[in-house]
Amino acid sequence: MAWRARPESLKLVAAKIRKQNWERQKQDGLDYVTVGDFAWYDHVLGTSLLLGHVPQRHNNGFPDLDTLFRIGRGQSQTDCGCAGEAASDMTKWFNTNYHYIVPEFSSDDQFKVSWTQLFDEINEAQQQGHQVKPVLLGPLSYLYLGKEVEQGFDRLSLLPRLLTAYQAIFAKFEKLGIEWVQVDEPILALELEKPWLESFKLAYQVIRSDVKVLLATYFDSVVDSLDAIVDLEVDGLHIDVVAAPKQLDEVVHRLPSDWVLSAGIINGRNVWRANLHSALHTLKPIKRELGERLWVASSCSLLHSPVNVELETKLPQGTENWFSFAKQKVSEVSWLAKALDGNEQAIEHCAQYSQPILDRGRSTWVNKPHVQSRVATLVSTNGDRSAPYAERAHHQQEVLKLPKLPTTTIGSFPQTAEVRKSRAAFKRGDIGVAEYESLMKDFIKDTVKRQEATGLDVLVHGEAERNDMVEYFAENLSGFQTTEFGWVQSYGSRCVKPAIVVADIERDKSITVDWSTYAQSLTDKPMKGMLTGPVTILCWTFPREDVSRETIANQLAFALQDEVDALQQANINIIQIDEPAIREGLPLKKRDHKEYLNWAVKAFKVSAASARPETQIHTHMCYSEFNEIIESVAELDADVITIETSRSNMELLNAFEEFNYPNEIGPGVYDIHSPNIPNVEWIEQLIEKAARRIPVERLWVNPDCGLKTRNWEETEASLTNLVQAAKNLRERLL
């Protein structure tokens, strides 16, 4: 791993980034700079190391960077000269595309402050002259977001032990002269079970110290939990006014008289410029009531926003002032706070900084009646396929002639330096269309040849032409604006560059057909066409704020429906429509689930509705706890669903013990985010475990996600073992 080769260089770069971020906050006049928001992999994993809570298989004594990356990425045989270790389970952070490593809890767990990163960075910031506000994941959210690894064990029983470690953390804060600490308890925005909600009072009595606590929540309203919150031993509350504006009045009305209220009114999860005039109007009466007890903030961490819009030099003329990235959001917070304090210059700035989003290109949204008319047809249709699954399965077997336990991959193959270099050269204009297409075809040809050598049953073209599974479609559909440097972290060192929805979405040209048909011309085996689903494109882009998410999803669905039809017309008989974000888009409150799932499922079905019975539709979901929505997953009516199950050791298949999933399923049998090469026996064991829940006649064998981030040596060795395991099990199980 690169970080092992140059750990000191990595640390120097990290220190430089932190210094720049703190200086920016200070220059904008923020009263406190935040410390503790820098993570080497993700902040939950960082909390695990802080608490000395490391899975036993990765525990080598005192936790260090090596420990952290082993937990996050696993350890290959080459790294350790042993059998290798699988990475820990990873899942989505609430309803975002940020991932975290899931803490694992057992009855003998102990907690002890063991990782000094947070305190080192506090010292670092203080030495640079900053007034520091550390941020720390709260004890209840840390426990809640983890999982038990012992059957029948309740992780909440670990709270007393965990609080002892939090007491030690707060004692260190006191010695460092910290006045305020932000303790994040985002689970307070959920509909918490009574034992969890009641545990907050004990927790915050125990960790109470001379350090003031700002209890932070985000992503939804806390009104359901407000009775418990106002009874806590804390000194302030942060709420997300963007995600749940209606909670503001209730929270202000019930706020204890000595608490501060941090109003998260600048959107930390979207890139549209804030309407400061409107925000000022909203907060003025609260400022009159609370005075200095009103703080102004972003709605949530700016981790979910790109860094700096000033770097974008290629935005269309007239759109330069539409957008605000993290750097600009810090300025928005500062200007708004100054205006609330009566600063005349700031008040004037807020008045001018008030262009409503409704005016930003709105004419392009409503002036396409053919798009609006097509979306309106959804009122009278469910998007059902032309035949039920049982009938489709018969047609598909006649056409595809696949063996039992068919093998395939999820879509992408290694994006080598040569692939990325060629794509970048084309984007810069250094090479022309003909040369670029020739290079991409060479990569596709090589990918097909390698797949045939491993013996896979269903092949893919490898997606060499795609920078990202969502950005690529955004670049090829009308209605999106892409950026040059709008990167956002997804997990570890993996970043994505979400596009921005700015207008009606239409497909005015073929997107994938030429690449897929070329790949199919190279082989007699079935070639799978690869599309990204409407809900995932929606969730992984920055949407318009004046148009409903449902409307955007429906427009995407019809655009993709046309692409599905074009692929099957070109004799591509297997088409995968990926929906890894369908669980991610689920509202935090269960009472809001039904409405979302109704339109999300319908959008997927509409995207696949043009498929003939003999066209096999696949979908893929990864790193999501989707068991609670398993019935809606079934309603998608995909012929085959592939899911991530390897990190969780097939735990995600528990839902299938009680729910009879009607169609075919491919539980991922090895973790592509780890350098580990799974051996044949390991894969066989996982497939056999899956076969105890899913009839073997309906099982597929595949990795748990795309292979874009792996190298060819690992990929070919892993897939060779996967194919061999499937062959062995065909003889043993069928």
**What would the 3-class secondary structure string for 565-610 be?**
HHHHHCCCCEEEEECCCCCCCCCCCHHHHHHHHHHHHHHHHHHHCC
Residue 153 lies in a domain: no
Of the listed ranges 120-134, 306-320, 396-410, 522-536, the least confidently predicted one is 306-320
- The pLDDT value recorded for residue 546 is 87
DSSP 203: H
Residue 352 lies in a domain: no
The torsion angle over the Cα atoms of residues 298, 303, 309 and 314, rounded to 10 degrees, is -140
How far are the Cα atoms of 107, 163, 316, 643, 690 from residue 149, in angstroms, in the given order?
Answer: 9, 21, 52, 21, 19
- Domain holding 400, by residue range, is 393-417+455-465+505-733
- C-alpha closest to that of 294 among 350, 253, 237: 237
How far is the C-alpha of 210 from the C-alpha of 174, rounded, in Å?
7
DSSP 660: -
- Span 101-155, pLDDT tens digits: 999 999 999 999 999 999 999 999 999 999 999 999 999 999 999 999 998 999 9
Residue 574: beta bridge partners?
A: 528, 616
How buried is 572 (Cβ within 10 angstroms: 0-12 exposed, 13-18 middle, 19+ buried)? buried
Residue 225 lies in a domain: no
Query: Band of the pLDDT at 363, cuts 50, 70, 90?
Result: very low
- Span 662-705, pLDDT tens digits: 899 998 888 787 778 889 998 998 899 888 888 899 999 999 88
| Type of residue at 11 | K
What order of strands is seen across the sheet that includes strand 132-137? Answer: 33-35, 132-137, 180-184, 212-216, 236-240, 260-266, 294-298
Residue 279 lies in a domain: no
**Catalytic-residue membership of 130:** no
When pLDDT is averaged across residues 479-487 and rounded to a whole number, the result is 94
- pLDDT mean across residues, the chain: 90
How far is the C-alpha of 603 from the C-alpha of 598, rounded, in Å?
9
Residue 499 lies in a domain: no
Six-digit token string for 230: 């106002």
DSSP string over 274-330: P-HHHHHHHHHHHHHHHGGGEEEEESS-GGGS-S-GGG---SPTT-TTSB--HHHHH
Ligand-binding annotation for 554, yes or no, is no
- The pLDDT value recorded for residue 287 is 97
Is pLDDT of 491 > 50? yes
- The pLDDT value recorded for residue 649 is 61
- Span 155-214, pLDDT tens digits: 999 999 999 999 999 999 999 999 999 999 999 999 999 999 999 999 999 999 999 999
- Span 596-609, pLDDT tens digits: 999 999 999 999 99
The torsion angle over the Cα atoms of residues 607, 611, 616 and 620, rounded to 10 degrees, is 0
How far is the C-alpha of 591 from the C-alpha of 208, rounded, in Å?
34
- The pLDDT value recorded for residue 711 is 92
Of 43, 130, 277, 673, the active-site residue reads 673
- The pLDDT value recorded for residue 615 is 97
CA count, 13 A, side-chain hemisphere, 196: 20
- C-alpha closest to that of 278 among 330, 241, 318: 241
When pLDDT is averaged across residues 581-589 and rounded to a whole number, the result is 92
- The pLDDT value recorded for residue 257 is 96
Q: Tokens 């690894």, residue? A: 149
397: domain CATH number is 3.20.20.210
Residue 489 lies in a domain: no
pTM: 0.90
- C-alpha closest to that of 410 among 613, 630, 580: 580
Is pLDDT of 438 > 70? yes
Ligand-binding annotation for 362, yes or no, is no
Ligand-binding annotation for 76, yes or no, is no
Of the listed ranges 299-313, 636-650, 674-688, the least confidently predicted one is 636-650
In contact, 607 and 208? CB cutoff 8 Å: no
- The pLDDT value recorded for residue 2 is 46
How far are the Cα atoms of 342, 441, 480, 509, 537 from residue 498, in angstroms, in the given order?
Answer: 37, 26, 10, 21, 9
User: Which H or E run includes 529?
Assistant: strand 527-532
Residue 147: beta bridge partners?
A: 104
- Span 378-428, pLDDT tens digits: 545 567 898 999 999 999 999 999 999 999 999 999 999 999 999 999 989
CA-derived radius of gyration, the chain: 26
- Span 454-470, pLDDT tens digits: 999 999 999 999 999 99
When pLDDT is averaged across residues 698-719 and rounded to a whole number, the result is 92
Q: What are phi and psi of 176, to 5 degrees?
A: -85, 0
CA angle 638, 640, 642 (to 5 degrees): 115
Residue 546 lies in a domain: yes
Is pLDDT of 29 > 50? yes
Ligand-binding annotation for 644, yes or no, is yes
- The pLDDT value recorded for residue 576 is 97
| Type of residue at 451 | Q
Ligand-binding annotation for 178, yes or no, is no
Total domains present in the chain: 1
Residue 309 lies in a domain: no
CA angle 174, 178, 182 (to 5 degrees): 110
Ligand-binding annotation for 578, yes or no, is yes
Is pLDDT of 366 > 50? no
How far is the C-alpha of 691 from the C-alpha of 684, rounded, in Å?
10
Ligand-binding annotation for 412, yes or no, is yes
Ligand-binding annotation for 349, yes or no, is no
